[in-house]
Amino acid sequence: MADQRSPITWSRRAFLKSGAVAGVLSSLPEVPLYAAKTGAKKPLPAVPRVSDLAGAPLAHRYRDLYSTPTTQNEYGYVQAAKSVSGITAVSLPPFGCCGVPETAWSPGFLLSCELFLNGRILLSYPNGDQLSYRWHPHRIERETRVDGLRFATETFMPAKRRAVAQSIRVTNLGNALRTLTLGFDMRAAVAKKTTPWFTYSPGEADNRVDWDSGRGCLVFTAQHSEAVSVQGITPKANRVDGGRMLIFEMTLGAGQTKELHYVNTVDSEAPMALQDYDDLQANFVQAVKENEQAFNGLFKSAFTPGNLDFSGYLPQLETDDESLWNLYHAGFKNLMFARRASPDSKYGTTYITLGGRVLPTLSFPWDTSLTSLSLALLDPEALRRLVENWLVQDMHQHLATDYVTGEGVGPWYAVNDMAIVR
C-alpha cells in the first residue's frame, strides 16, 4: 500500500536554519554518547573577590585606538592616561581635577603625574609608548620597560576619600649601577561645580600653584570656586622645576627596585586637603590594604541578605561553568562601577548609568530600565528614589538627572515614559 503521509514542506527560513545547525554539529569533536567523567570541575566562587574579577593584561602602543581603564571608589573615579603613571579626568563631584579647563582653545582633559626620564618624556623613548595594562575592580596596574629600566604602577582611590593614590616602582634591569633623574609633571585645573553637571569634569585654567617644601607637595588652588588639589610624592622631591615638575635624583644598583608614593587629595579648603594628604602618605601601605578590604566587603554585602551596604541583595550563582560565571559577574561589575555613595548626592546612594569621563553624574531612565531587575534586587530603595526624582523633575523635558543637584538635564528622550514605567 502506498504511503499516504503528507509530504514535508520546507520554507526558505527553515531550510537555512537547519543547514546552520547541521554545519555547527558537523564541526563538533566526536564524543561518546555516554562519556565517563574524568573528574568534577571545581565550583567557581558564588561570592567573588577582587582577585576573581580581574581583567586580563592588555598591551598597547600609544597610537593604538583603545580606551584606557578607570578605577573608582564611592565618591568618584579616575582614568589612566596613555602612559605608565599619568592620570586624568578625576571626577569627585562636586569637585573636578584634571578635567577640561573652561577657556578658549581648551586643551581638553589635563594629565597629571606624567613621567620624564633624564629630562625627556618617557613616551618618547624607544618602546616607551608600549604599555601593559591590567584592570582590577579596586585598582589599575600598568607596566613598561624603557632603556634597561622597568616602571610599574598601581593606581587606586582610597575608600571614602576624595583622593587618588599610586605606587610607582622603578627597577634597574641591568647588571651595572644606574644614576638617573625622574621628573613628574603635575597639573590640576581643580574646580568645584555646584550647578548641574552634564558633560565632562569641570576645570579652571588659572589655578594658583604653591610649593610646600616641608611636605614635598604642590598645592593647586582654584581662583573662582572653593576647590584645592594637593599633589605630591614621597620620598620628597629633590627640587621643583618650572613651578610644577617634581624632580628626583635616583641611584639604582643592579636589579634594585625603589618605590615612590603619589597622592592627590581634593577638598574645598587647603587645610583639609593637606590633612588628608599627610594621613595617606603616612599610612600608604595601610591604605592599599584597606582599599582591597573595602571592595571585598562590598562584594560580600551584595550577595548577603540583611547586609549594611545595600537595601537588597543579588542571588548567588553556583556553577562550575566559567562562561556562565563570567557573564553573570560582568553585569555585577557594571553595577558596582556605577554605584555612588557620596555625601554630596542630593538623593543618597545612587547609580550612574554611563559613567566614564563624559557623563560622570547622570542617571538616565533609558539605561536604568535595562538593568532594572538587577537594581530592584540589589538596591530597591536607591532605585525607588531615582524613579521618584524623575517624576518630580518632569522627564518630559529632560533625558537624565544629575546627582549633585538632583535636577534634570538635557533635552527630552521619547523612551522616558516607557523606561520609568518599566
- pLDDT for 204-250, tens place per residue? 999 999 999 999 999 999 999 999 999 999 999 999 999 999 999 99
Quick count: other Cβ atoms within 10 Å of Cβ 421? 9
> What is the per-residue burial (b if ≥16 Cβ within 10 Å, else e) of 274-312?
bebbbbbbeebeebbeebbebbbebbebbbeeeeebbeb
User: What confidence tier does 259 reach under pLDDT thresholds 50, 70, 90?
Assistant: very high
Is the per-residue pLDDT at 33 higher than 90? no
* Cell output for 154: 598601581
pLDDT of residue 5: 44
Average pLDDT over residues 142-158: 97
Residue-range domains of the chain with CATH: 58-293 (2.70.98.40), 311-421 (no CATH)
Is residue 85 within 8 Å of residue 184, measured between CB atoms?
yes
Residue 352 pLDDT: 94
Segment 294-309 shows an average pLDDT of: 97
> What pLDDT does 225 receive?
97
Tens digit of each residue's pLDDT (9 = 90 or more) over 341-363: 999 999 999 999 876 678 899 99
Q: Is 21's pLDDT higher than 60?
A: no
Give CA–CA dist 412/422, Å, rounded: 18
Q: What pLDDT is stored for residue 96 in this prediction?
A: 96
* Mean pLDDT in residue range 383-409: 95
SS3 annotation, the chain: CCCCCCCCCCCHHHHHHHHHHHHHHHHCCCCCCCCCCCCCCCCCCCCCCCCCCCCCCEEECCCCCCCCCEEECCCCEEEECCCCCCEEEEEECCEEECCEECCCCCCCCCEECEEEECCEEHHHCCCCCCEEEEEECCEEEEEEEECCEEEEEEEECCCCCCEEEEEEEEEECCCCCEEEEEEEECCCCCEECCCCCCCCCEECCCCEEEEECCCCEEEEECCCCCCEEEEEEECCCCEEECCCEEEEEEEECCCCEEEEEEEEEEECCHHHHHHHHHHHHHCHHHHHHHHHHHHHHHHHHHCCCCCCCCCCCCCCCCCCCHHHHHHHHHHHHHHHHHEECCCCCCCCCEECCCECCCECCEECHHHHHHCHHHHHHHCHHHHHHHHHHHHHHCCCCCCEEECCCCCEECCCCCCHHHHHHC
Mean pLDDT of the chain, nearest integer: 91
> Which cell numbers hold the place of 295?
571592595
Quick one: pLDDT at residue 358? 83
Which pLDDT does position 199 carry in this prediction?
84
More confident residue, 28 or 86: 86
Per-residue pLDDT, 36: 43
For 401, the grid coordinates are 538627572
User: With the C-alpha atoms ordered 189, 195, 197, 198, is the resulting torsion angle positive or negative?
Assistant: negative
In terms of C-beta density within 10 A (0-12 exposed, 13-18 middle, 19 or more buried), how is residue 14 classed?
exposed
Position 24 pLDDT exceeds 90: no
- pLDDT for 104 equals 87
Q: What's residue 41's pLDDT?
A: 78
CA distances 364 to 28, 132, 358, 399, Å, are 44, 34, 14, 6
Quick one: average pLDDT of 132-147?
Answer: 97
Mean pLDDT lowest for which of 17-26, 128-137, 152-161, 189-198?
17-26
Is residue 30 over pLDDT 90? no
Does the pLDDT value for residue 200 go beyond 70?
Answer: yes
- In this predicted structure, what is the pLDDT of residue 357? 79
Residue 1 has pLDDT above 80, yes or no: no
Judged against a pLDDT cut of 60, whether residue 71 lies above it is answered with: yes
Distance CA 362, CA 190 (A): 20
Question: By percentage, how much of the chain surpasses pLDDT 90?
Answer: 85
What is the Cα–Cα distance from 264 to 259, expressed in whole angstroms?
17
Rounded-to-integer distance, Cα 159 and Cα 278, Å: 16
- Three cell numbers written together for 299: 562584594
Task: Tell me the average pLDDT across 80-107.
Answer: 94
Of 169, 183, 178, the C-alpha closest to 247 is 183
Would you place residue 39 in the very low, low, confident or very high pLDDT band (cuts 50, 70, 90)? low
Quickly state the pLDDT bin for 11 (edges 50, 70, 90): low
Buried b (16+ CB within 10 A) or exposed e, 97-136: bbbbbeeeeeeebbbbbbbbbeeeebbebeebbbbebbbb
pLDDT digits (tens, 9 = 90+) for 277-286: 999 999 999 9
**Strand order of the sheet with strand 239-241?**
120-121, 114-117, 178-185, 245-252, 239-241
* pLDDT (mean) for 365-379: 95
Contact predicate 162/81, CB 8 Å: no
192 in Cβ contact with 323 (< 8 Å): no
Q: Which amino acid is at 236?
A: K
Can you tell me which residue has the cell 537594581?
Answer: 375
Q: Which of 76-80, 126-130, 317-321 has the least mean pLDDT? A: 126-130
Residues 34-43 have a mean pLDDT of 58
